[in-house]
Each structure stands twice: as C-alpha cells, then as structure tokens.
Amino acid sequence: MVFRASPKITLLLASLLCFQTVSAGHCQHSAFTYRFNELRNYQCCQPIRFNIPIYNEGGDYNPGTGVFTCRLPGLYYFTFQTQVYNMDLYIKMVHNRHTYLEWFDRYIAPDEDNASGATLIPLQRGDTVYLEMHQGKNGMWGNAIFTGFALHVDGCDQ
C-alpha cells in the first residue's frame, strides 16, 4: 500500500521541514581553546591572558584580555590544565567578578606536576568568565590551556 498525501498535507509537511531547517540555522555555537606562554609575566589579580589560539568559534573569548563574554545564553563547560613548577598554584575561576571556584596545588621541589579543574556554569548574555591566580601562588607553568564551550544554547534543541 502506498500512502499518498493530499496537496494540503504535502504543503504542510514541506512548511514544517522548511521551518526546522531555518530554526536549525539559528543554532549558533561558542567554543574556544587557548594556550598560555607568558611565563612569570603574570600580574596579580587580573585575568590570565591565554593568548595562543588553538580554536575560537564565535570569538567570545578575548585573548587580549583573557575574558570570555557570553554571547549565547545557555549552559557552559569550562576547564583548564597546566603544569605547576617552582611555586604553589592557587587559581580561581571568576564569574561576573565573583569567585566561582578555586583550586590549589602545592609545589614540592624539585618535582613538576600538573593541575586541572573543570565546571559547568549557566550563563546569561554579557556574563564574563576568566581565570586568575593569587599573588605569590602563580605556579602556572608552560603548556597551560583554558577551554570553554556551550554545552547547550538556550532555545536551541540541537
């Protein structure tokens, strides 16, 4: 048996497919990964400027300031990973100028180790997120990476 749709149903189905395609076209993305190479050039109490691009879709992370500014409201995942060397590391993730999470790694000479952290943050348009180190505990060494991306953008079901 072959199903034959009436012209009205065919038009309705075509309209729905067209609507879904247009809606899908509105789903934008936001994602970045940047490295850090300003060894010991860090000034206390300001965003760490991860300035070497690996990926930056949407341009929401500014390597000149180290600040991610939300363009697409939704749920975001942020993570960092770094070597720790020569001094302790006390690092915090700052959301809208308030500490969101903090991580600590004690340096024990002559070892060199690694620190990492990750979290989810629901963001509104214009919200800011960045990483910052405490004075005297800026043990972030080379090969440091800061990554963030939208896990889910509000109003986008994809």
Q: Which is nearer to Ca ion, 111 or 157 (CB)?
A: 111
Name the one range near Ca ion by CB under 5 A: 9-17, 60-68, 112-120, 132-140: 112-120
Tokens of 3: 């199903």
- Contact between 113 and Ca ion by CB under 5 A: the answer reads yes
- Contact between 60 and Ca ion by CB under 5 A: the answer reads no
Among the listed residues 62, 105, 131, 133, the single contact to Ca ion using CB under 5 A: 105
Cβ distance 137 to 89 under 8 Å?
Answer: yes
* Least distance from Ca ion to the Cβ atom of residue 42, Å: 19
Name the one range near Ca ion by CB under 5 A: 22-30, 57-65, 106-114, 145-153: 106-114
Q: Which is nearer to Ca ion, 62 or 82 (CB)?
A: 82
Query: Rounded to whole angstroms, how far apart are CA atoms 47 and 84?
Result: 18
- CA distances to 18, 40, 103, 108, 115 from 32, rounded to whole Å, are 31, 24, 21, 32, 20
* Least distance from Ca ion to the Cβ atom of residue 112, Å: 9
Name the one range near Ca ion by CB under 5 A: 1-9, 40-48, 108-116, 144-152: 108-116
Name the one range near Ca ion by CB under 5 A: 6-14, 74-82, 100-108, 145-153: 100-108
- What does the H/E/C string look like for 51-114? CEEEEEECCCEECCCCEEECCCCEEEEEEEEEEEEEEEEEEEEEECCEEEEEEEECCCCCCCEE
Q: What is the CA radius of gyration of the chain?
A: 22
Question: Where on the chain is the footprint of Ca ion (CB under 5 A)?
Answer: 105-106, 113
